[in-house]
């Protein structure tokens, strides 16, 4: 049975790390390393991702209704939901942007779960990708909203998501960075990143859900799902609000500090 305290900690790390640009995979890899916990196993990993899927769907379900209406209806009336306005082709752009990540996961899954999880590699990815995020946020020409997403930009953001298979890069961090370089404003880059996470997380959960059913839903697993869902929802909600008046700089400094801590730990021990 999964330890309840460990489930809570890992659930919070997964939920917050999936949507904040700090890399959930890095944190889930490092927490057992630092605290000398046993690997919780594949079924628990699936449970945590199920929690983040619940979070992103719970936050964006109204948006998804509008996105599908825009894609399949000839004439879309004003939505009864107060949500972000989306272009008619946004669904297709999300699908296109998802393809590189799916291919990376298919061909590099074994490496992502083994050789890519070296602490020093994670430290390098945290610092390097964090610096690129900082530069994009500070120097890239921004200002376009969701209506600025087009085929070219969706491909660039999709390729960035594929690179994020390396722990420490951060899926949200990579896609937000690409969105900023593509000219999207801070909140729109984050919003597109979150929408883009929905099909990739859904696919990962659907593919491995049998492992969760085989192991059973013990209290530790249920707690992991719930904490991941709650922390993920709050991360989405408050990051979007935070970006209305602030930059991504704080995440760069956090990533850099964590990278230094990893290197010092490896060197000292």
Q: Domain boundaries in the chain?
A: 4-73+87-268
The reported pTM is 0.92
Eight-state DSSP code of residue 75:
S
Q: Are 186 and 243 in contact (CB under 8 A)?
A: yes
| In the predicted structure, residue 82 carries a pLDDT above the cut 80 | no
Check residue 210 and give its pLDDT. 87
Check residue 72 and give its pLDDT. 85
If pLDDT is split at 50, 70 and 90, which confidence band does 211 have? Answer: confident
| In the predicted structure, residue 108 carries a pLDDT above the cut 60 | yes
Check residue 83 and give its pLDDT. 65
What is the rounded distance in angstroms from the CA atom of residue 261 to the CA atom of residue 269? Answer: 12
Judge residue 187's burial from the number of C-beta atoms within 10 Å of its C-beta, 0-12 exposed, 13-18 middle, 19 or more buried. Answer: middle
Check residue 49 and give its pLDDT. 96
Find the mean pLDDT for residues 193-206. 96
């Amino acid at each position: 049975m999964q330890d309840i305290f460990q489930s809570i900690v890992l659930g919070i790390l997964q939920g917050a790390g999936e949507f904040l640009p700090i890399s959930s995979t890095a944190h889930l890899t490092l927490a057992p390393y630092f605290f000398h916990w046993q690997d919780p196993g594949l079924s628990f990993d699936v449970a945590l991702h199920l929690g983040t899927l619940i979070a992103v769907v719970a936050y964006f379900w109204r948006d998804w209704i509008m996105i599908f209406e825009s894609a399949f209806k000839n004439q879309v009336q004003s939505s009864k939901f107060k949500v972000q306005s989306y272009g008619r082709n946004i669904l297709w752009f999300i699908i296109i942007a998802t393809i590189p990540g799916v291919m990376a996961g298919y061909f590099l899954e074994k490496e992502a779960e083994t050789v890519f999880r070296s602490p020093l590699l994670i430290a390098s990815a945290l610092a390097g990708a964090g610096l690129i995020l900082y530069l994009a946020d500070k120097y890239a020409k921004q200002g376009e909203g969701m209506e600025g997403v087009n085929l070219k930009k969706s491909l660039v953001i999709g390729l960035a998501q594929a690179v994020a298979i390396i722990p420490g890069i951060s899926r949200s961090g990579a896609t937000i960075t690409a969105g900023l370089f593509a000219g999207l404003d801070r909140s729109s880059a984050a919003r597109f990143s979150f929408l883009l996470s929905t099909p990739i997380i859904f696919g990962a959960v659907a593919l491995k859900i049998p492992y969760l059913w085989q192991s059973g839903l013990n209290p530790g697993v249920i707690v992991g799902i719930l904490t991941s869902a709650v922390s993920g929802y709050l991360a989405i909600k408050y990051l979007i609000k935070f970006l209305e008046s602030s930059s991504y700089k704080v995440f760069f400094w956090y990533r850099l500090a964590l990278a230094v801590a990893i290197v010092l730990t490896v060197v000292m021990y």
